[in-house]
Structures are given as structure tokens and as C-alpha cells.
Structure 1
């Protein structure tokens, strides 16, 4: 069941597109060698500045890669459907390329499945690579999409994602390779990322592999594994993050979590250390059939600062642990300012350091009806920031 309702946008199927760098929207033919955009089909390499139009109903039918030096611009209101049931359907942006996906609250940009009955894992997701540092090196190959990433440019610019929805992502290639909703590999802090939603994903919602990119207003609903994940020396700031698992969404890994923070899984002392800052976060479980392994697992050398977080399990839903800093590959350190817990969210598992206290409350989150959730002002994320996505919630077994 889809539990994050998006704004309905009716798109006409019009076989026009633009690949001009001056945004004149002329109707021109795609290069015979393949420019990644052929009518309303997206597949292959985009090697020159190109634009997707809201008036065209696009379908991704294979891997799409924006090559170094090219920029892909996507108009507000564009809906892009991905061919379902395959692991080679995704959108990738190479190091040195850009994506400008700048939607609006009224006309978001939507990436979704083309299936008549869509489900988590129908297609890959969005993969962006940059030149910002990773503690794995300066020419690392991404887990999926085969992109090189990493470098020394902390202020690298990969473009913009604003008011973007990605749903039914997380295609699994094998036991070691699985797409996230949106993956940031070495993405720098000149990249603009705000007001993004990942919904009904089979693996992680949003994951950062090194890099310095900052993210504001990020909502992960119904995620099979970790809602928010980082590793390899990520040092950006995440502000106003809301993760929720609805009742009825039972796709789950063996250890789904709200936050999973690693620095380096083979050397916890590798530089740069993951040192993110998170401001205003809510991790909410509404599903009594799936227990979250942890609200936050901070490990493998990570040093995280979290200001104003709420761990909440509503009714008979639960977490196994609240905060876990213990790991056999290296413990973690977390500093808390204004941390709250509501419901059955377990206790803290200390191996590393937890600096700061968690206050138990009863009113951080309330569910006045089956399709709304209300948050107490000043506790965790500001949910009003996501009203543009028309989110809904399922609570029946409480």
C-alpha cells in the first residue's frame, strides 16, 4: 500500500524534448549515437546539456548516465517513470556532471515506477557522484552504477535537487549491491539539496558515502533498511529529517534502523572521520509488525552531533535499541542536545560514548486520525515542512 500520497500531476505524452544549452526549448533530434533522451524514452549516456520537459511523460528503460561536463535540467512538474522489475534502471550523475532538478511545492519532480501495482524495489534510484573527500580514497568506484567519486574539492557542485520525490526504489543486484533511494557519493557542499522525499524503498532511503553536502527537509517514508545512512567520512549537515515506517509496510532487512552512521568499516581511524551534524530529527515507527533494530546506530569511528531528536514508537510499535554506539569494527561517539523518546524504543547500548541525556515524554507525536500525524512544537522534526508532499499515515492495530 502506498502510504505517501503525492501531488497529482497530469502529464500529456508529447514527443518533444530539448538538448540545447541555451534553454530555447527547440524541437531537435537526438544524436544517432544515442544522447540518453529519445522522444519520451530515457536510456544511455547524456553527453551534452539536456532538458526534460513537464509536458512529456518520460520512461527510464535502462541505465541513464549524465556524463562529465554535461548538465541535465528537469522542469518542475516532470514525472519520470522507471521500467519496473529490472536492476539496470537508474539515473546516475557522474563526477564533474550536474543535475538541476528544481521542482516546487506545487509542481514537484517525481521519479516513480511504471508498474500498475508498484512496490519497493521496482527500480534502482538516483545516484550522484562528486569530487568531495571520502576516506576510501580519491578514485573510488560506487557500489552501484559504476561511478568514480572522491577527491579534495569540499565545495564541489553537482547541481540541485529541490522538491523531488523518488518512490519504489531499491532494486537488489545481489547480496552486496542494492540501490538506495538517493545515493550521494563524494558530493560537495555547493550542491543544493532540499525538500526531498524517498518513499517505499527496498534498501536505504538516503545514503551519503563521504562528501560534504548539506541537506534540508528530507522525508523518508517506508524504507526497507535504514532511513538515513552515512559512511566514508561524511561531514555535512542534515536539517529537519523525518523518517517513518507505516503499518502495513513490511518490507524489511534484518536490521532496519532510523539512523545508521559509519565512518569506515575496515579502519575506524581512517581520515576524514565521519562527523555529521543533524538538527531536528524524528524517527517514528507506526508498524507493530516490524521492530526497528535501533533508532540510531552510531559506529565504526563516527563522531556525530545531534541537536533535537525524537525517537517515537506509536502504540504497540517498537524499537529494539534507542541509541547503539557499540560495534566490533569500531565504536562510535554521539553528542546529544535535546533528545526525546516516546513509546517502546528500547535502551541505549553503550560501547563508545553517548554524551547527553534522553528525556522520556508522552506527547512528542500524536496520531489524531489514520491519515495524519501531529508533532509537538520544538520536539524533533517540523512536519509542516512536508505538507507539500501530502503525506498520509496508516495506524489501525494500535
Structure 2
């Protein structure tokens, strides 16, 4: 009898072994912490999942790593003064969010141009002059007046994945104190830049100042200047899946320049979608800034699988031609177009009546035949452009940023 009771007890424990807590999946929900980031980061620091206030132009020192856990939200307030996050050369930013838990940098007023965005420095190569010895350097245009450039092509500034920067692009003085959503000064190929969003800034969404870093799976949405921009001989090679949506006020989809230096190298970008909403006007009425891609000052590159839509001429408040490709100056035409250093292949064009625009002076005319060999310019009706997957990383205030993709 005792054996029977014991066996029944064992069987009972087997069939009732799962607790009600297991049945209800009552795993404790991780609660976000709160805090303030108001001092320079001079020792390794990790910010746990939470909501933080960023106050001031915060610098991450050389040799120091700053880490944010997935799901962090970092908010500035322009009423407190100038704010931004600066990773100095030798420092690292590790901000690896996920599609469902992105890391978001934003500003309280939700007005473009309210803060300086993320600024990263490295010592990868740049080109600042046709005659200067290497490694070449330059001084930043972000108001910090820091020197950038070097010979470390593999510079590693950290890892940014599923990061969104909102309402940045602070411009105080053009060309000497202006910022973007993301500013990369001579950042190297060891840096990971993947699934990034620049949202409704007052300057460029992304700008590269030389360097060798590559950008993958990127959205530039509603930025008032250029969606993607670079200078100083940027030469990233692994770029893919770029999507720009220009609306309201905007200039170029992509602006390409290289400090008037005829380089033997160029960047490479595949899978690009550039869309301009109806009624979008230029930022500065004194300039012709309506084109999908503009090449100037010896800018070049290899681009393929491109979708371009909505780049039409503007009639009000001023009349300007809009087009698909603008070559601004004759040196760029002679050395880059005619020499075969600008390659645009598998290009699908819709709602953009003018394909080529010649710059000033009007001593050259760009046509399809200008791109030699002919395989350097090919159009298509089947190009697919960028391929991106929706999620929280690409959603702002309930709006899916990929809805127009």
C-alpha cells in the first residue's frame, strides 16, 4: 500500500510540474532606466536599456568605448544650448540596436536642425589637395575645428546598427559650423555602419569627409539639404541599399565631390532608391539644387541598380530645371565622365523628364554618349533599387518610413 501511494505521488508531481507562472509566461519585463549624459566620456561606459538626456557637445575620448544597449532613447533639448555626440579619433561608439529595439537619438522639440547629431572622427585617408604630400589632413566644418585625415584605412570607430538620428543637422554658420544627421570624418573600413536612419534634419542626412568606411541599409528621410553627401575623396566600397525620400524642402539625392582632385579611385554603391515627393522645393533659391545625383569638383563613382523618381523642374517660388544627373563643371566632365570614372548602370527613371543637366559654364553638354564606354551608362525598366525590411527601426510616430520605397 505504501508503494502504491508513493507511485501515485510521483505521477502527480509529473503532471503538475509546470507552475502557473510558467503557463502564463510571467517573465519579468525589463524596465528602462533613466539618466543624464552631461559630461565627456573619459572611461569605458555602458548605458543600460533606458531613456537618457544628452546635454552638451559630449566627446568620447581616444582609447575609450561608449556603449548603448538596444532600445535606448537619447533625447536632446535645444533650449539647453548646443548638443551633440562626438566620437574622437581613437574612441569607439558601440550602438547595436535591433530591428525591433533600435537605438534612437532625438530632440525634444522635433524641429529639424535642433542639434548636431552623431559626429565620428578617424584617421583614414582623405584627399584635400592635388599637390599636398600624403597623408593629407583637413579641418572639420562642424565648429569644433578638429584635424582629420591620416593613413589608417582600417580605422575602427565602433559599430552602429539599427540607429536612428532625428531632427539633427544644426547649421549655425554655413561651411564653418554646420552638422548633419551623421557626420563621418575620415572614418575607416573597420567601422560598422548598418541599418541607420537620418530623419528630418536641417542639413545632409549622411556626410562622409573622406575615409574608407561603408554604409549599408540606410534611410535618409525628409532632410533639408542632401540625402547622401561626400567630399575629400571618400572611397567606401561595400555600400548597398540606400533609400532617400525627399519631401518639403531638399536639395540633391546624392551630392558627389572630391576637392577638385582627379583621383584614380572611387566609391562603389549598389541598390539605390532616390524619391522626391511632389511639391518639394529647394533649400536655397540661389542655387540649382533639384537633381537626383550631382557630380562636381571631380567627384566620381560606380553606381548600379538605381531607381530614381520624382525629380521634376520647379516653377515656384523660382524656376529651376530638375533632372536625374547633373555634371556641374567641365573638369568633372573631362576627367570623370569622359574618362570613364563615373559609372551608372541599370538605372530606372520615372517621373523625371530631364535626364542630363550640364553645369556652368555651358561649354559642354552631357548626353548618354558622353559616358564612355557606353556600358558606363545603362538604363532599365527592371531595376529594383534598395531592398529594406520594415520594423521599429524604420518607424517614427507610427509612420512607416519605407511606405514609399
Scaled by the length of structure 1, the TM-score of the pair is 0.77
Aligned partner of residue 320 in structure 1, secondary structure = coil
Matched with 2:95 is 101
Matched with 2:60 is 66
Distance 1:175 1:143 in 2: 9
Matched with 1:257 is 252
Alignment of 1:1-398 (within 5 A): 14=33, 40-54=35-49, 56-85=50-79, 88-115=82-109, 118-136=110-128, 138-144=136-142, 145-176=144-175, 177-237=177-237, 238-246=239-247, 250-252=248-250, 256-264=251-259, 268-269=260-261, 275-290=266-281, 293-313=290-310, 320-327=322-329, 330-331=332-333, 332-333=336-337, 334-350=342-358, 354-355=371-372, 356-359=376-379, 361=381, 378-384=383-389, 388-390=393-395, 391-392=400-401
Distance 2:124 2:145 in 1: 17
Aligned partner of residue 123 in structure 1, secondary structure = coil
Displacement of 1:146 in angstroms is: 3.5
Point out 4+ residue stretches in structure 1 off by more than 6 angstroms: 314-319
Q: Is the 8 A contact 1:274 1:302 kept in 2?
A: no
Displacement of 1:293 in angstroms is: 1.2
Higher mean C-alpha deviation, range 305-314 or range 220-229: 305-314
1:355-383, Cα deviation, whole Å (9 max, x unpaired) = 5345375xxxxxxxxxxxxxx7x421114
Looking at secondary structure, tell me which structure has more strand per residue: 1
Distance 1:92 1:154 in 2: 20
Cα pair distance change 1:87/1:278, threshold 3 Å = farther
Displacement of 1:386 in angstroms is: 6.6
Distance 1:45 1:114 in 2: 21
Matched with 1:18 is none
Q: Is the 8 A contact 1:217 1:386 kept in 2?
A: no
Distance 2:347 2:391 in 1: 22
Distance 1:345 1:12 in 2: 53
Aligned partner of residue 180 in structure 1, secondary structure = coil
Higher mean C-alpha deviation, range 289-298 or range 237-246: 289-298
Distance 2:353 2:392 in 1: 26
Distance 1:275 1:393 in 2: 29
Distance 2:215 2:298 in 1: 22
Higher mean C-alpha deviation, range 64-73 or range 44-53: 44-53
Q: Is the 8 A contact 2:127 2:261 kept in 1?
A: no
Cα pair distance change 1:69/1:121, threshold 3 Å = same
Q: Is the 8 A contact 1:325 1:354 kept in 2?
A: no
Distance 1:243 1:84 in 2: 26
Higher mean C-alpha deviation, range 292-301 or range 85-94: 85-94
Displacement of 1:385 in angstroms is: 6.2
Matched with 1:24 is none
Distance 1:128 1:392 in 2: 25
Cα pair distance change 1:289/1:73, threshold 3 Å = closer
Distance 1:386 1:259 in 2: 25
Distance 2:275 2:180 in 1: 20
Distance 1:340 1:207 in 2: 25
Distance 2:392 2:46 in 1: 28
1:225-276, Cα deviation, whole Å (9 max, x unpaired) = 0000011010003211000023xxx344xxx000000001xxx226x56611
RMSD: 2.8
Looking at secondary structure, tell me which structure has more helix per residue: 2
Distance 2:332 2:355 in 1: 20
Distance 1:216 1:202 in 2: 22
